[in-house]
Structure 1
Amino acid sequence: MTVAPQISVAVAATARVGEGPVWDAAANRLHWVDILRGAIHTSDLTTGATTSLATPTLLGAAVPRLGGGLVAATAEGFAEVGSDGTFDTRCPILSPGLRMNDGKCDPQGRFWAGSTDMDFRPGAGALHVLGPDWSTRTALDGLTLPNGLGWSPDGTTFYLIDTIPAQVWAFAFDGATGALSERRLLRQFEAGVGLPDGMCVDADGRLWIAMWGGARVVCLSPDGKAVRSVEMPVAQPSSCAFAGPRLDRLAVTSAREGLDLTAQAPDGSVFVVDGLSVCGLPTRLFGS
């Protein structure tokens, strides 16, 4: 007998665009951002208690750093967030009219983040890499809205979503150099099912993708076949991450932006999906 997953509101919020959930095992907390409000939130998924840091810019993602604090993908480029809340835009690499979107650390501790045009101009997006020494390079260009980054459990395959054209790409990944090669289209989503947004990879190599406008999280096999779908109680689930001490709870962020909602609507909250009987991969820290 298959038991249906249980979905609950873990953090009641009204985020305009909640995004970038990442599990911090050392703190036993979930970090996530509200892109348009420029806020970094840190939440206890058991109690919902949340502390927030307001920043002076738009935020695409913020991930834990080795030794404490966070590194963030911002409207200007990359910033360092101290444990005391200090905020320093150390690498302002983007031109005006662009901003960073989603970002994650690879198994070697580099921070990867995609940039996009504020109006999502086709081809204006790119994928950037921040090294532990704060050096930067552009790994890929010609994108529109790069999103949903992730690596296979063995670290040899890199996945990247380009949201506007609704595509999921896979690359061979060289961990020693960070080089991408052998680009292939893993999945082209059809019209009418929502747009693939943020994602995470589980311990068995499956991709869990939040479908913006599709009110669900879809699970793909490593070869791109849809194998599972979890219906969400909001129209715009935006990203997801495995969380909790056993990495067996799927935290899903959501957004209110562009929707006509009542104040009581749960959109903009963080949800937790329990009972999936799968586990995620440990979070990689920047600089590790």
Structure 2
Amino acid sequence: MSFQPELLLERDANTGEGPVFDGDFLHWVDIPKGLIHKTDLKTLATENLTLGVIVGAAVPFDSKDAYAVAYKGGFATFENNVLNLVNPFLSDPEYRMNDAKCDARGRLWGGSCHMKFNPGQGKLHRWDGNDNNKVMVENLALPNGLGWNKENSMMYLADSITKKIFVSEFHLDDDFVPKFRELITIDSGLPDGLAIDNDGCIWLAIWGGSRIVRISPQGAIISEHHFPVSQPSSCAFGTDGTLYVTSARAGLSDSDLAEQPLAGSLFVLSTNTSGVPVSKFKGV
């Protein structure tokens, strides 16, 4: 069955990313503009928070009105409109942080990459909220979408430039290090952000592919859902099985935008399943 996406909120995000469903709100970012958006899902009123730096992802704290942030130079917190650079480990301006997501223990996993996405120079880090992080995986290109199944026994990672989705067994122990293996290679477009449903399937946004695909735990594409924009960028499940989808207009020409004026907007996709919620940040 192929469900049709619907426009939720018309926006002109350069690179909308990192949606986090939070009850009545959806938190999401615009990476190059350095913005965190907080959209009220009842009224669609959107609060725009300016960080002043490139932001890869922002995840709400579990215990207070603040965000854990993967920003250009590392990991930070954002509270009362102040960006606190807690772990600024990327001193080389040729590198930046990209997508990030919290596991069930509230620890933030995030990818770093070269600005030109050079193969082998990307890493996956885990940040617990202090002034250092742990490098969990190396030799990536553009580490992107992350997710875990509801049992927290499997972890998934997209590497956009290699066009691959990787999978690893997973444990919540402090000393656990994932050992990823290839699950599937995407033929058309680039794998971007993803969400996991309660059946263990991956819902994957295909940048440049105008679609979201559902992938089985064994790596088979089960269904495809086409969008009126070429760059759906990420997705997150709400409580009722609704999939919230960000998109981007980065790199699109004037003629491209004339054909897809909704690029950069938020969409919703009804599904016949339910999803694993994105965890909030708990820190140390």
CA distance in 2, matches of 1:264, 1:236: 10
Aligned partner (choices 107, 113, 136) of residue 104 of structure 2: 107
User: TM-score scaled by structure 1?
Assistant: 0.92
The letter for the 2-side match of 1:21 is P
User: TM-score scaled by structure 2?
Assistant: 0.93
- How far did residue 264 of structure 1 move? 7.8
- How far did residue 183 of structure 1 move? 2.4
The letter for the 1-side match of 2:3 is P
Aligned partner (choices 171, 175, 178) of residue 174 of structure 1: 171
Determine helix, strand or coil for the equivalent of 2:5.
strand
Aligned to 1:146: 143
Determine helix, strand or coil for the equivalent of 1:180.
coil
Aligned to 1:23: 21
The letter for the 2-side match of 1:8 is E
Pairing 1:71–2:68 present: yes
CA distance in 1, matches of 2:112, 2:234: 17
Aligned ranges for residues 194-213 of structure 1 at < 5 Å?
Answer: 194-213=189-208
CA distance in 1, matches of 2:266, 2:276: 20
The letter for the 1-side match of 2:249 is R
Shift in CA distance, 30/106, structure 1 to aligned 2, threshold 3 Å: same
Aligned to 1:231: 226
Determine helix, strand or coil for the equivalent of 2:258.
coil
- How far did residue 174 of structure 1 move? 2.0
CA distance in 1, matches of 2:181, 2:260: 43
Q: Per-residue CA shift, 1:234-263, capped at 9, x if unaligned?
A: 0000000112xx241101100001112139
Pairing 1:59–2:51 present: no
Determine helix, strand or coil for the equivalent of 2:170.
strand
Aligned to 2:156: 159
Aligned to 1:10: 8
Does the CA-based 8 Å contact 1:172-1:180 persist in structure 2?
A: no
Determine helix, strand or coil for the equivalent of 1:104.
strand
Aligned to 1:44: 40
CA distance in 1, matches of 2:32, 2:146: 20
Shift in CA distance, 264/201, structure 1 to aligned 2, threshold 3 Å: closer
The letter for the 2-side match of 1:17 is T
Aligned partner (choices 249, 255, 268) of residue 256 of structure 1: 249
- How far did residue 134 of structure 1 move? 5.0
CA distance in 2, matches of 1:134, 1:110: 14
The letter for the 1-side match of 2:31 is I
Aligned to 2:77: 80
| Residue ranges of structure 2 left out of the alignment (5+ in a row) | none
Shift in CA distance, 61/134, structure 1 to aligned 2, threshold 3 Å: same
CA distance in 2, matches of 1:132, 1:279: 30
Shift in CA distance, 264/236, structure 1 to aligned 2, threshold 3 Å: closer
Determine helix, strand or coil for the equivalent of 1:21.
strand
CA distance in 2, matches of 1:229, 1:178: 37
Determine helix, strand or coil for the equivalent of 1:174.
coil
How many residue pairs match? The answer is 278
Determine helix, strand or coil for the equivalent of 1:72.
strand
Aligned to 1:124: 121
Aligned to 2:89: 93
Determine helix, strand or coil for the equivalent of 1:116.
strand
Does the CA-based 8 Å contact 1:249-1:273 persist in structure 2?
A: yes
The letter for the 1-side match of 2:189 is G
Determine helix, strand or coil for the equivalent of 2:33.
coil
